[in-house]
Structure 1
Amino acid sequence: MSVVYLAVGSVSGTAMAVAQTVKDQLQSLGHTVIQEENASVEGLNSSGCDAVLIITSTTGQGDLPANIIPFYVALEEQFPLQNGRPFGVISLGDSSYDSTFCNGGALFEERFYELQGTQPVPRVTIDAMETITPDDDALFWLQEWVEKVLG
């Protein structure tokens, strides 16, 4: 089975709850999930992962949650090329913030493209204005991601 490095950015706990649901599902399918308290380039590099999964909310005016900013900055500063490693992004937000809706996920998507990662399944955006079951929405997306990435 595959090893997935899971990085989570959360403010109110919703993204963390979604991440736990996703992690449980991946593990039930026999995959290994590596999730640090605070994601790091060192953890990513040493994980030996087959794929990277980012689950993040957006705060303020399109900003990343404080707990994942150091990882995002370190990715820019250390620039650990992914050389085609697949990644996925589950982005949570509130569409009432029109121009910055789910920007946290978009920032990571852009960063992993810069690092030469591949994204077999488009980023999913989960809108707090549209759903009360973000876990279910994430699992629906995860099904396709697992098929295409972890096979």
Structure 2
Amino acid sequence: MNALILYGTETGNAEATATAISQVLAGTVDSEVHDLADTTPDAMTQAGADLVVLVTATHGEGDFAGGGADFFEALTETKPDLTGLRFAVFGLGDSYYTTFNQAGETAATILTTLGATQVGDTARHDASSGDDPEEIAEEWAREVLAALPAPVAS
């Protein structure tokens, strides 16, 4: 099984969280970690990934952090058929703001609208909680792994 882990970050937290998720998946799932700023929507379908994991921070007024805005704008413009693609979303935000984790919610909505199927619940890390996002992500990644369908025996 292969996973493509994509992150959008302003401060580096989403990148560190994406790396922590990759480490949990190691041994069970082969994964690659990429910055959304350096990725096009085609990567989701051309990489042959069985699972796309999006790790995105909410920035400003509910916007995607880092390259996420350009990535999701291109995705909504090109409207690829993502039927058969499974995805999971780990959002980072701060409940101090009314737009708490809006980017993660928006990402999940866009992908399901294009036909992709979400695995597990969207994670919503709260920076105000004081919890380490990497620790929360590791636990969440184990839950996502458990929710994946078992591979078909050949």
Settle same-fold status: TM greater than 0.5: yes
Contact 2:19 2:33 (C-alpha < 8 Å) held by counterparts? no
The residue aligned with 1:119 is 118
Q: Find the aligned partners of 1:7 and 1:120 in 2 and give their Cα distance.
A: 15
Deviations 1:53-79 (A, max 9, x none): 100001111111132222111111111
Contact 2:53 2:88 (C-alpha < 8 Å) held by counterparts? yes
The residue aligned with 1:80 is 80
Shift of 1:90: 0.2
Q: Find the aligned partners of 1:81 and 1:132 in 2 and give their Cα distance.
A: 37
Shift of 1:80: 1.6
Partner of 2:49, secondary structure, is: coil
Unaligned runs of 5+ in 2: none
The residue aligned with 1:8 is 7
Shift of 1:34: 2.5
The residue aligned with 2:24 is 25
Partner of 2:91, secondary structure, is: strand
Higher mean alpha-carbon deviation, 88-97 vs 30-39, is at 30-39
Q: Find the aligned partners of 2:22 and 2:149 in 1 and give their Cα distance.
A: 14
Contact 2:90 2:137 (C-alpha < 8 Å) held by counterparts? yes
Matches within 5 A, 1:1-151: 2-27=1-26, 29-37=27-35, 38-98=38-98, 100-149=99-148, 151=150
Cα distance change on mapping 1:103 and 1:11 into 2, 3 Å = same
Q: Find the aligned partners of 1:21 and 1:150 in 2 and give their Cα distance.
A: 22
Q: Find the aligned partners of 2:139 and 2:28 in 1 and give their Cα distance.
A: 18
Higher mean alpha-carbon deviation, 37-46 vs 70-79, is at 37-46
Give RMSD over aligned pairs.
Answer: 1.4
How many pairs are equivalent?
A: 148
Q: Find the aligned partners of 1:64 and 1:86 in 2 and give their Cα distance.
A: 21
Shift of 1:150: 5.7
Partner of 2:54, secondary structure, is: strand
TM-score relative to the length of structure 2: 0.89
Partner of 1:58, secondary structure, is: strand
Contact 1:82 1:117 (C-alpha < 8 Å) held by counterparts? yes
Unaligned runs of 5+ in 1: none
Name the structure where strand makes up a greater proportion of residues: 2
Identity %: 26
Partner of 2:23, secondary structure, is: helix
Task: Tell me which amino acid in the other structure corresponds to 1:8.
Answer: Y
